[in-house]
Amino acid sequence: MRESFLTFGSPVIGEEEIAEVVDSLRSGWVGTGPKVARFETMLGDYVGARHTRCLSSCSAALLLAMRGLGIGAGDEVLVPAMTFVASANAVEHVGAKPVLVDSVEGTGLIDLDAAEAAITPRTRAIMPVHLAGRPVDMDRVNAVRDRHGLLVIEDAAHAIGSEWAGRRLGSFGNATAFSFYVTKNISTIEGGALMTDDAELAAEVERLALHGLSSGAWQRFSDDGFRHYEVVRPGFKYNMTDVQAALGLHQLPRLDTWIERRARLWERYDELLSGLPLQTPPAPDPRTRHSRHLYQVQVEPGGPLTRDELIAALVTRRIGTGVHYRGVHLHPFYRDTYGLDSADFPVATDLSDRTLSLPLSPTLSEADQNDVVEALGASLRAGTRS
């Protein structure tokens, strides 16, 4: 039994980040300013996208991308059933209809065959989600896009640093949203970014993120002199602050090293868990670089414990875990609004019932990992399914 609770998804915050935040506080630039601009440049260079706009969250990036692309009432957007509800919520918020698509067994990624079969004359866009940091087949996504004249909004909340066929996600010519939430591979506590090669979309997202103003605070109050703003359309308050970007400036240069550490821990989990009644995640596609955001296991059907019973047992042994996710179709709003049946999404439903995520971060020690595996083994051996 551990003496201290092993928290799932703790951020890695170093002294350089702390010093940069303090510098922001002392500078007077705590809102959107020069550090956000620097972070945007760093992100664009890292991913290989022409334009980057940092925002308050990945959810904001998804919503503003769709607003900027003109998706709205009467349109349908294909969304995987196995994702966090923020993906579908963004579609709802622009007045469009999310059309849910089942998953591929094992990976949980959107089933692109099912997605293509679900296309109707009202389908405007598809939203592939790079779940757990595992890239969706971007060759196929873009082929579907081009074949049917669709827009693509990639939800890469889990996938900063992931690659498909040697190219980083965000560089495939689509609007791509990233998250820097507290549990992500790099964190600005809250925050996200939209990357695009479309200069007009980037400009529109920047306007919409700050009330629809023609210029932001940094531009209006910089050394270039004061300029009046004008509201060109009603926008939102979705900007990132310099205090947040201060963290990202030092997190991003460490990302690749952290992904390598996550990969080593991932492989060690595979070895340590081989004798337990759990299904470990499939190996990454050799064409990809997996950012190893989540290490997800599935309890065996009819095994000694249900997923929720196993989570509860691990808590008593001071091990924190996560559930990623309960499918969108299982939440009351979507189930009731669209008359969805869990049987229509059998893979996503099964994943919703049997999957849990184990602690995984660059600071996780082998001793911590041993504690996780020992707690899993002891819980499963002692378990009696209710």
Question: Burial code of 163-189, b = ≥16 C-beta within 10 A, e = fewer?
Answer: bbeeebbbbbebbbbbbbbebbbbbbe
Give the residue from 197, 232, 254 where a domain finishes: 254
Q: Determine contact, residues 213/230, Cβ cutoff 8 Å.
A: yes
Q: Does residue 220 sit in the same domain as residue 361? A: no
Residue 8 falls inside a structural domain: no
Q: Does residue 219 sit in the same domain as residue 291? A: no
Domain hosting residue 314, numbered range: 255-382
pTM of the predicted model as reported, rounded to 2 decimal places: 0.96
Q: Does residue 268 sit in the same domain as residue 218? A: no
Q: Does residue 190 sit in the same domain as residue 290? A: no
List all residues 6 or more positions away from 161 whose beta carbon is below 8 Å from its beta carbon: 133, 168, 185, 255, 256, 259, 289, 291
Give dist(CA 156, CA 133) in Å, integer. Answer: 8
Which residues does the annotation mark as catalytic? 184
Q: Does residue 274 sit in the same domain as residue 348? A: yes
Which CATH number belongs to the domain containing residue 265 in this structure?
3.90.1150.10
Residue 4 falls inside a structural domain: no
Residue 221 falls inside a structural domain: yes
Q: Does residue 200 sit in the same domain as residue 177? A: yes
Per-residue confidence (pLDDT) for residue 1, from 0 to 100: 82
Q: Determine contact, residues 260/289, Cβ cutoff 8 Å.
A: no
Mean pLDDT by 10 residues, the chain (386 residues): 92 96 95 96 98 98 98 98 98 98 98 98 98 98 98 98 98 98 97 98 96 66 65 93 98 98 98 96 97 98 95 97 98 98 98 98 97 97 77
**DSSP conformation class of 309:** H
Q: Does residue 167 sit in the same domain as residue 291? A: no
Residue 171 falls inside a structural domain: yes
Distances in Å between the alpha carbon of 308 and those of 132, 136, 237, 299, 305? Answer: 20, 28, 37, 10, 8
Q: Does residue 153 sit in the same domain as residue 249? A: yes
Residue 38 falls inside a structural domain: yes
Q: Does residue 189 sit in the same domain as residue 294? A: no
Q: Determine contact, residues 126/144, Cβ cutoff 8 Å.
A: yes
HSE-CB at 245 with a 13 A cutoff on CA atoms is 24
Residue 2 falls inside a structural domain: no
Strand order in the sheet with 288-289: 167-168, 163-164, 288-289
Q: Does residue 289 sit in the same domain as residue 210? A: no
Which tokens sit at 135? Answer: 């890239």
Per-residue confidence (pLDDT) for residue 225, from 0 to 100: 61
Domain count, the chain: 2
Q: Does residue 117 sit in the same domain as residue 265? A: no
Residue 360 falls inside a structural domain: yes
Q: Does residue 303 sit in the same domain as residue 373? A: yes
Which tokens sit at 122? Answer: 């009202």
